[in-house]
Amino acid sequence: MPLPTVPYHVETLSDQEHLARAQRFYELVNQRRTVREFSDRPIPDGVLEQCLLAAGTAPSGAHKQPWRFVVVQDPAVKKAIREAAEKEEHDNYEWRMSEAWKRDLEPLGTDEHKPFLEIAPALVVVMALKHGDAGPEAMHYYVQESVGIATGMLISAIHAAGLATLTHTPSPMGFLQKVLNRPSHERPFVLLPVGYPAEGCQVPDLHRKSLDEISVWL
């Protein structure tokens, strides 16, 4: 049975206003940088909640919304996550990663040590739900694609709110299910430390690909 419908309207803008809005949004997100040096300054009440609501507006397969955002602020839980993540990362750098992979990471200055997992005031673990909470019969579709879109919207919302984050994907991430005591149908997708950059924070001087490099017009 089709869902009931409601009218949908977009604001009427001039060509110049359309372009100006697109440019302003680009200029905003172009300032976003991955941060690995965080302050422990608390996030104001309500800010992270609004970012999660924004992420929850993402499109999804059959509108199943197959995501759950687990917010971790408890210092003991953050410590447990750091210890488990650093164990996996040690093995990654020691023997899992190829030499080419490690060479590609070298300019970014990353290693197995992840102090930001304890310093950042909040960790958001994005979970991908294989199926609904009711059981396997509550099927989900295009889960990875849907959760990926929601994660991108969450990252943009965090930046727009004046906060910083980092896409952390310790591999394998199964330990997060155990530390967070989450059910088996929730699979860790990405871990986002969220907060303010530390005073004097430095980031690599990166350059993004040009429009010609990332698009094809037919």
The model carries a pTM of 0.95
Count other C-beta atoms under 10 Å from residue 80's C-beta: 19
Contacts of 137 (CB under 8 A, 6+ apart): 131
Count other C-beta atoms under 10 Å from residue 145's C-beta: 13
Contact at 8 Å (CB) between 183 and 56? no
CATH superfamily of 35-198: NADH Oxidase (3.40.109.10)
Query: Exposed, middle or buried: residue 166 (CB in 10 Å: 0-12, 13-18, 19+)?
Result: buried
Residue-wise pLDDT tens for the chain (218 aa)? 888 999 999 999 999 999 999 999 999 999 999 999 999 999 999 999 999 999 999 999 999 999 999 999 999 999 999 999 999 998 889 888 899 988 999 988 889 999 999 999 999 999 999 999 999 999 999 999 999 999 999 999 999 999 999 999 988 999 999 999 999 999 999 999 999 999 999 999 989 999 999 999 99
Query: Exposed, middle or buried: residue 191 (CB in 10 Å: 0-12, 13-18, 19+)?
Result: buried
* Whole-number pLDDT of residue 176: 97
Contact at 8 Å (CB) between 189 and 129? no
Delimit the domains of the chain by residue range.
35-198
* Whole-number pLDDT of residue 96: 87
Count other C-beta atoms under 10 Å from residue 8's C-beta: 5
Helix axes 143-160, 47-55, angle to 10 degrees: 150
* Cα–Cα distance, 143 to 170 (Å, whole number): 20
Closest by CA to 119, choosing from 79, 84, 87, 85, is: 79
What is the CA angle 38-41-45, rounded to 5? 120
Contact at 8 Å (CB) between 70 and 124? yes
